[in-house]
A and B are shown apart, each in its own frame.
Chain A
Amino acid sequence: MIGFETYPNVDQAAAALRDDGVYFGGGTLIMRALNYGEQDFSRIVRTTDPALKQVEAAGDRVRIGADVTMREVIASSDLSFLTPVARSVGGPAVRNVATVGGNLFAEHPYGDFTVALLALDGRVSVAGGGEHDLSDFISSRTTFNGVVTSVSVARPGGQDFRYHKVSRVKPKGVSVMSIAAWLPRATGRISNARLAFGAMGETPLRALPVEQALEGTSLDASGIESALQAVIGAFNPPDDPLASGWYRKEVAPVHLRRLLLGEGEK
């Protein structure tokens, strides 16, 4: 029998987790574990704290409460740049419950929303204080036993943010890969680009060699050539029933080129 506890504020919920509790956001990951008997917890803990539902835009960043659902992301005018990303997550029934915070813990090949957060310089806040770089947080997420309260991301300008999800099933399917790119430009040249890939490793990953190859280039066929070369060796993706790691590596330059040149999926 699994216990179920609800607390009015997030700090109380975090304190209640102890060793045998798990935090319940939207439930898509926890319920799947329960349905398959794979749970490693004996208590489910949640909070009704309204702070986790807030979206706050301030300056050049926006803070998204961890319990904000994909449906709420789509509905938020402050998060319009993330609408295509949220729409790529599951069908409507999943998006009604799947949360921003929960997506940080989705295992390969899921977690497409986190790919976008990673490209947008995501920073994770947790109950009890402290803000963590999203890359660092993801790399140690399996040992995290607390409550994520929000994720803060940069607000990209105009056409600076791009996202593409590759799947075999249309209009929705699990990722063969997903790519998010934040491409700020100074006098027509890319400056401080951030790119992240999903389903190309056990967690969403930044493509640091690609970012370096794009620095100072223009977004045209010749300007991106070195970035396309760089992505070939940037990842060591796992095999899964959707695609082999070899296939993912082979097609990564194709999908990166389409994203960077705005060609769309053919």
Chain B
Amino acid sequence: MAKMPLQFSLNGRDTAIFVNGGENMLETLRRGVGDMSPKYGCAQGTCGSCTVIVDGQPQLSCLTLSQTMEGRSVETVSGLSDGPQLHALQQAFMDGFAAQCGYCTGGMLMAAKALLMNNPNPSRDDVVEAISGNVCRCTGYEPIIDAILDAATKMRGRAM
């Protein structure tokens, strides 16, 4: 069976690629497009390290059939920064030591970005809920929660 064509928007850029039938979006992004920012973790929807944003909502790329992404808008960590200018979330993670080994960080950032897109003024409980599908074995989560709240405050300040 031949590969199938797939067109979607990746971080605002039109992207066209051929995918295997049954291929997951994590494979398509990493091996097909070369965007290595979503990480391969559990491949069963438990760890959250492959989290991307699809049409404004967080989604696990390992559980996403690539062929269902036709015409959709996909965002990854690669699209967060503006050249050398880090996104407020990335800066807050760095300032607050919210990354140690870093393997979960990409998924955490995308889960956090999806939260702040839909809720610019989240409570601590909102943040805990937003990253409840993302596992971190290093930080104990508190620095990550603090960093997301810090970024939210700064992003609201910029918007005013």
CB distance from B88 to the nearest CB of A (A): 20
A221 is an interface residue with CB less than 8 A from chain B: no
A144 is an interface residue with CB less than 8 A from chain B: no
B1-15 vs A, CB cutoff 8 Å, 1 = contact: the mask equals 100100000000000
**Contact residue among A31, A90, A92 (Cβ-Cβ distance under 8 Å from B64):** A31
**Contact residue among A34, A39, A46, A96 (Cβ-Cβ distance under 8 Å from B57):** A96
A29-73 vs B, CB cutoff 8 Å, 1 = contact: the mask equals 011101110010000101000000000000000000000000100
**Interface residue count for A (Cβ, 8 Å)?**
27
Give the contacts of A7-41 with B (CB-CB under 8 A).
24, 27-28, 30-32, 34-36, 39
Determine the chain B residues whose CB is within 8 A of the CB of A34 once the complex forms: 22, 24
* CB pair B114 A92 closer than 8 Å: yes
* CB pair A93 B22 closer than 8 Å: no
Give the contacts of A88-106 with B (CB-CB under 8 A).
90-94, 96-97
**Interface residue count for B (Cβ, 8 Å)?**
32
Q: Could you show 8 A-B contacts with beta carbons less than 8 Å apart?
A: A4-B65, A4-B67, A28-B63, A31-B45, A35-B43, A36-B44, A90-B45, A93-B133
Q: A4-B67, A24-B65, A32-B63 are in contact. Are A172 and B132 (CB under 8 A)?
A: yes
**Contact residue among B4, B68, B133 (Cβ-Cβ distance under 8 Å from A172):** B133
Q: State A168–B58 Cα separation when bound (angstroms).
A: 24
| Complex: chain A residue closest to B133, CB-CB | A91
CB distance from B87 to the nearest CB of A (A): 19
Q: A1-B1, A1-B21, A27-B64 are in contact. Are A96 and B59 (CB under 8 A)?
A: yes
**Contact residue among B22, B45, B48 (Cβ-Cβ distance under 8 Å from A32):** B45
Q: State A32–B57 Cα separation when bound (angstroms).
A: 20
A188 is an interface residue with CB less than 8 A from chain B: no
* CB pair B62 A93 closer than 8 Å: no
Secondary structure of the A side of the interface?
Answer: mixed
Q: State A31–B57 Cα separation when bound (angstroms).
A: 19
A186 is an interface residue with CB less than 8 A from chain B: no
CB distance from A261 to the nearest CB of B (A): 25
Q: State A90–B51 Cα separation when bound (angstroms).
A: 13
Determine the chain B residues whose CB is within 8 A of the CB of A28 once the complex forms: 45, 63
* CB pair A1 B51 closer than 8 Å: no
Residues of B within 8 A of A (CB): 1, 4, 20-22, 24, 43-45, 48, 51, 54, 57-60, 62-65, 67-68, 111, 114-115, 128-134
14 A-B pairs besides A1-B22, A93-B48 with CB distance below 8 A are: A1-B20, A4-B22, A32-B44, A34-B22, A35-B63, A44-B22, A71-B57, A90-B133, A91-B58, A91-B130, A92-B129, A93-B51, A93-B58, A94-B45
The list of the 4 closest CB pairs from A to B, nearest first, reads A91-B133, A2-B22, A1-B1, A35-B43
Q: State A172–B48 Cα separation when bound (angstroms).
A: 13
Determine the chain A residues whose CB is within 8 A of the CB of B4 once the complex forms: 4
Determine the chain B residues whose CB is within 8 A of the CB of A31 once the complex forms: 24, 45, 62-65
Q: A4-B4, A4-B21, A91-B131 are in contact. Are A97 and B111 (CB under 8 A)?
A: no
CB distance from A7 to the nearest CB of B (A): 14
Q: State A36–B22 Cα separation when bound (angstroms).
A: 12
Determine the chain A residues whose CB is within 8 A of the CB of B65 once the complex forms: 4, 24, 27, 30-31, 44
Determine the chain A residues whose CB is within 8 A of the CB of B43 once the complex forms: 32, 35-36
A241 is an interface residue with CB less than 8 A from chain B: no
Q: State A4–B1 Cα separation when bound (angstroms).
A: 11
Determine the chain B residues whose CB is within 8 A of the CB of A32 once the complex forms: 43-45, 63
CB distance from B97 to the nearest CB of A (A): 23
